[in-house]
Structures are given as C-alpha cells and as structure tokens.
Chain A
Amino acid sequence: MGNRYLIVGGSAAGMAAAHTIRKADETGEVTVLSNESHAPYFRPMIPYIITGKKSASQIILNGSGVFTADTINILTGSKVTSVDPAGKRVTTGAGDIFDYDRILFSSGSRPYMPEDIENLGVDGVFALKTLADAEAMAARSETTEHAVLLGGGILNLKAAFALLEKNIKVTLVVYSPEVLSQLMDPEDAYLVRKALDEAGLVIKTGCSARAVISDDTGVCAVALDNGEEIPCQMICVGKGVIPNLDYLDGTDIRIDKGIVADPFTACSKGDTFAAGDVAVTHDPATGDKTVTALWTHAVEMGICAGLNMTGKKTAYAGTMGIMNATQVADEPFVAMGVVHTRDKDLEVHTDRTDHYFRKMVFSPDGSRLVGAVFVGDITRAGLYRYVIREKMEVERFKNHLVNHTLHYGHFL
C-alpha cells in the first residue's frame, strides 16, 4: 500500500501540496479535508462572485495553474477538530476518523472580528473570506443601498469596488490615517487615495466602529467612535486574519503565532508539515519570523511542503512579510519587503509625481535593496523582488534601481 497523505485545509497551500504529491508519488493516497461546503476554488476571485462577473464554476481550482493532477480525494464539509500526532490520526466534527502516514496543516486563516465592536453577530455583517461569504454578500447586496466597510486593506478595497460596481454607496471606515496602511506609509498612498476618491468611495480615516445597530432586517446602521452614526444595510469587516489553529490545542506541535515550520516546511513532530496562512516562516528581506496571508506564498509553500512530504527534501525560500500587487481603478501598485520607513535608519529614495510614485528602500549602508513600492507604474516589478529576495549586492546597478530602469541585462 502507498503512503497515506492527509491534508487539513483545501485552499491554496493544501491543494498545491496535494497536486504536487500526486505528481511526485503515483501510488500514494492523497486526501484533503476541507471545512468549506464548496469544492476548492481560487479564493482571491470571490469579489467577482459579488459582482456576478464570475460564477462559482468559473473559479474552481481543478484544471488550472498548478492544480492539474487527478485522483485527489477531496472531502468538503470536513472540519478537523483534533489531531493525535503520536497515533497519526485526526478526528472531524462529524466524528469521522482518518489515519495518516504524513500530514500537512494548511488550515488557513479566518477573519479577525474585533471584540470591542458590539452586536457584530447580526444579519448583514460580513467578512469576505469564503465563496459562501461572497454568495451571501451578493444576496444581501440586492437590498443594500449603502454598505460600510471596516478596515482599509486590500481585501476591503476589492470588496468596495465590487459593491460600487453594483451601484451601492460605499463608505470605508479606516482606523489608520490612510488606506493600505499595511502596504505603504500614509503619505505614499496619495495616488491610490485619489483613485479611490474619484471612484466615488467615501473614506473616513482615524475612526473606527463602536457598535452595529440593527432592526428586524438585520444591520441598519453603524455607530462610530467619533459619535457619528451611518445608516447602512451591510457591513464588511476587513481587519486582517488569524490562523486556524484550534484543532491543535493540547498537542505538542510547536505554536508561536502560527505553526512553527523549519526551512523544509516540517513541524516539530515527525511526519507533520505546515504551509500557508497557518505557518510561521522567515522573511528573506528582514530575516524575521513571519506569517503571511497571501495566495502566492501559500501556493509556493504548499508545493514545497508537498515535495518534502514525498521525501524530496526542498528548502523553502521564505516569504516577504509584505508583498502584494493589485490595481484599484486605473492605479496599479506593488508593495514588497520593507515599505514603512518613517523614523527608521534606512536609505530611502522616493520619486513623487502626479502619475506615479515609487520608493526604493535600501539597507542603512545602501548596499542592498530591502523594499520597494510602485504606484502607477509597476513595470518589471519582479526584477526588484528578485534583488530583494536574493539579497544581491546592488552597487553596479543601483542607479537603475533608483531610477526604475533596471532590466534583466543588468543581472548578466
């Protein structure tokens, strides 16, 4: 009999691992336990479910990208409730028991719901995390005139544009002084902010929600900590995510803000591995331990874990704590590595115009690139990521980094 591989979680990391294992070990038995009701899908695509531009069947994983292997046993609606690493056995909420030879913890994360906001449990309050959430938001949006989004991160911006497209008035309530505070300093977001303002988004910064006000239709207003009360029929909470670790309570799997994985994606117990939003890994830009919640990282780490699980020892290159790209309205942007530079001992070069913004962040001695922000013009951003990740000595092409004229020829 072949190896029994068990994968907890059916999203980016888990499915990338499953497909990698399937291709590397033809006789192994690959089982994925997913607590969601839908078959695995491209999670970042769920804003398109709200607009109706994509259907659930158009965003399924199987057959696209790295997800092209066959015969993976995917069990949806299977929430793992406990693990016995010594006995190599897991139990699900329905009482089903699965024995395994090697297990991957890729249970992802869930939205952080602030406890200090009263009455968050009512109808019409969402956090956009799953396809089911998106479907529920789409349904609620039919009777929504005004939606209030709490948090100014990239996910809420995507949700905001989805709702604006449906002619719903959208107000973004942001505690930070500016949107996208995780990805750039407030003064660096001016072009993004202009694009958001022009798109018709109402943005209130420096305040947060205190309580949700409801009637028999669910949410009908939100009370802010500045005394303001905004009538609305929908609230979407985008305040970051926390890793799903509850099922590991009582085990001796080492946890420190997430599941601690070694450079080969292995956990502290034999035959256990971790990947994706639940895993603590290292940031090649800063050297710090980091947990990220990015699709791209989860796929890369899942592939790496899959290889390690089949015995092909593969080191994981690490994840930049900050790395993301998208486009809001007509403004594309990329932020990666060290991007917050206020009052820090770093060599920083910025170029601020009405059409583009860029910031190149170097180590204090100026010898290495450690971070970059591009807004408006993101041409060849991947080269800069490579320079950061590989910790390249930049002296011979530094002027090209600063002036955004770097090309592949400079690496030769």
Chain B
Amino acid sequence: MSHLKEIFARTDMCTGCQSCRLACAVAHSDSKNLFAAIHETPRAKSRVYVEWLDDQIKVPVLCRHCEDAPCINACIAGAITRSDDNTVITNDDKCIGCWTCVMVCPYGVIGRDKSVRKAYRCDRCPDLEIPACVSACPTEALIYQEVDQYSKSVRKNVARELVTKEGG
C-alpha cells in the first residue's frame, strides 16, 4: 500500500513551536475553532506530541499506523481496525478503556481520555485534504507524502548535504 500517503516527521526541521499540537487539538474539537475549543469540556486533545531531546533536537511523534500494528493485535474489544486508506482507527463506540493498546504501542502515541475512558490517537484527519498538523507546520517538519516520494526526497537531501560538505 505504498501509494497511500503518510505523515513523516523531520527532526532536523522541527523548531518545537507546538503549532502542530494546537492545530491537531482544534481539528479534533467539536467547534473546530481555537477560541471556542479552549472552552470545551472535555478539552480537545492533541494527538501529536513534540518531544525534546537534550535542548537541541525536537522530535514530533504521532501514530505511525504500523504495517504490523501491535495495537490491532492487542485490542481485547475489537475496537481497533485498519481502514481502506491504511489508517489504524480506534472505534470510540467499541473502546472500553482497558489500555491494552497503551501497553503495547512502541511509540507511546496512544492517549487516554480519562473523562470518557477512551483511547485516542492520530486519525490522519479523514475529513481534510491535508492533516491539520501538516498544514500548520511552519517549517515543513511534518510532511504528508507517499512513502516512495518521501524517501526520494530524503535521498536527494542526503546527497545535497554530502556534496555541500565535500565542497566546503
């Protein structure tokens, strides 16, 4: 399914500005509006996380929608399924908040909504052309591309860096 788009994160571009988190929370709020979302109860939650490594490197982390997803295997309620566009989805109606998915996710990107006792994670914004976090990122640290396309751009960047280094 490599022709389907995924969200990629570039740690070399992320400034840790948290714009993605804000946009994600708004996109998953009832009102879809920042000023209204602030007053919603329970408060809208971001599904993307920006982790800090030392003081230099910022790492945006979100659900990878793994090909062999441990959470799908683990879910005791049958609440987690893979949709046609390859996105791993948690069905709120079926989720019972047993947190087995939290126990097995190797990226640590499944959140717990304590007020409703449901697990939540990135759904790649199914109603938007481009996921809200990607649109909001001012430095293109988050990229929404097909795998082939992205790896080609990574190779180009590496080649360019090598040339620059050798030249310099």
Contacts and interface: CB of A to CB of B under 8 A. Distances in A.
Interface of A: 16, 42-45, 48, 59, 61, 64-68, 295-296, 299-300, 303, 323-327, 330, 332, 334, 336, 378-383, 385-386, 406-410, 412
Nearest to B105: A382
A323 B78 contact: no
Contacts of B49: 407
B102 A325 contact: yes
A16 B103 contact: no
B73 interface: yes
B104 interface: yes
B40 interface: no
Contact of A409 (B61, B100, B109): B61
A385 B96 contact: no
B103 A68 contact: no
Interface of B: 11, 49, 51-53, 57, 59, 61, 70, 72-81, 94, 96-110, 112, 114, 117
Given A64-B81, A296-B76, A380 B59 contact: no
A379 B114 CA distance: 12
B90 to A, nearest CB: 11
Contacts of A16: 73
Given A42-B77, A409-B61, A383 B99 contact: no
6 contacts: A67-B78, A324-B103, A325-B100, A327-B98, A334-B99, A409-B51
Nearest to B78: A64
A296 B102 contact: no
B53 A327 contact: no
Contacts of A381: 99, 102-103, 108
Which of A42, A67, A296 has most B Cβ within 10 Å? Answer: A296
A409 B57 contact: yes
Nearest to B108: A380
Nearest to B58: A409
B110 A326 contact: no
A295 B70 CA distance: 12
Contacts of A336: 103
A408 B59 contact: yes
Given A327-B97, A327-B117, A408 B107 contact: yes
- Minimum-distance CB pairs A-B, first 10: A64-B78, A380-B108, A409-B59, A44-B76, A382-B105, A325-B103, A407-B51, A409-B51, A296-B74, A386-B106
Nearest to B107: A408
B78 A325 contact: no
A332 B97 CA distance: 9
B73 A65 contact: yes
A382 B51 contact: no
A65 B75 contact: yes
Contacts of B101: 382
B81 A68 contact: yes
A332 B96 CA distance: 12
Nearest to A53: B96
B1 to A, nearest CB: 14
